Structures are given as structure tokens and as C-alpha cells.
Amino acid sequence: MSGTRRIFLVRHAPVAGPAGVIHGPGAPADVSDSRLVAATRGALAQAASAASWCSPALRTRQTAAALGLAPAIDRRIAEQDFGAWTGCRHADLAAEPGDAYALFWRDAAGNAPPGGESFRQQITRVADFLAALAAGDHIVVTHSGVIRAAVAVALDMQPEKALGLVIEPLSMTLLEHTPGGWRVGWVNRLAGWPGPAEHG
């Protein structure tokens, strides 16, 4: 269909680092699951002529390279900026004096960490990125928050609801934009899982 955009959003591979940490852009990816990496690369072959994109983060660039991509870097698809909390453990933040951390979670979509940005602000820049894409196929290697934001844009979903979406490492989400509007092909699919056609 003329003017249609197919956008394959791929979350980066797991972070090669401790769990429970708000990782910064320098955190590396663990791309050692060669089976899943190869399956994901194979699943993306349906978009062989796609333009590819990734965030500036090391983990997205390493994941893209493992998938055989040479993406353009776009800061609009960076993960949510957690400001002063970047690099901190959630448990340590919860144990700090004061109630800043607890207050943040009372409105996790609208509140911004100290010196950072809110999820609502992230949605705005992700929407700008999506609107700027040309017709055709695109592969976007990015972060869970960006994928939640993109689905929120496509479904006109309340940000608070979008935060409930599970987006696993190396999962794929397909969004399509046609002259008639947005539609969602799938969310959080791991390569090798059966799709709708296999369910019958």
C-alpha cells in the first residue's frame, strides 16, 4: 500500500551487568545467546531492504551489530533519561532518606527523576521520530521504554497503561502506519514463537 510504513522495533539484548540497576548509555549488551540472536536476524529477513536505526547507547549498537545491521543513530529513540538516578540501584534509591523515590512511583508516567525526563516526555520525542520515518520498512533497535512509548502512540494509549507492557530483551514489536492510520501487528514476540498464522 502506497505510503505504508512497517516498523520492526527490537529491544536490545540483555545488559551485561548487575540486575536492579538503572543502566546508563555505556552499559554493554550480552549477545552470547547465539540461538536467539540468529533467530531474530532470520525473522528480520522479511525486511531485508529496511532502513535501520538505533539509539546512541552501547547496548543497542552492539545488538544491532550482532543482528548484521549498520544503523543510523537517533537520539529520539534513547531510553528515558533518569538523570541523577542513572547508574544507581533501585534498592539503594528506595533506602535513601526522604521520599523522592517513592513519590516518583506514585505517577511514574508523569514524574521525572531529578535532572531527568518523564515517560510522557519520552513519548513526545518517540512520536516525533515515528512521524519523520519515510514510507517503507524500518528496523529500530532500541529500549523497552521506547517500544512502550511507540505502542502508546500507535494505540493512543494512556501512558500509565503503556508502562504495563512487558518488553523482553531481543523481542520484536511490529507497528504499521497506513493512510488509514496505525495498526499493531504484534508486541513482545521472541523469534521462534508461533505467530497468529500458526495458531489458525
- C-alpha of 164 from chain center: 14
Render pLDDT for 118-154 as a digit per residue (tens, 0 to 9). 999 999 999 999 999 999 999 999 999 999 999 999 9
Domain boundary assignment for the chain:
5-81+118-193
- Residue 142: count other Cβ atoms within 10 Å of its Cβ: 30
Best CA proximity match to 91, nearest among 28, 19, 166: 19
Closest C-alpha among 169, 174, 186, 197 to residue 50: 174
Task: Give the bridge partners for 10, in sequence order.
Answer: 141, 172
pLDDT, tens only, 72-92: 999 999 999 999 999 999 999
Euclidean distance between CA atoms 134 and 52, whole angstroms: 12
The model's pTM: 0.94
- Which class does domain 5-81+118-193 fall in? alpha beta
Nearest to 29 by CA among 64, 59, 69, 71: 59
Q: Are 185 and 28 spatial neighbours (Cβ–Cβ below 8 Å)?
A: no
Between CA 150 and CA 129 the distance in angstroms is 9
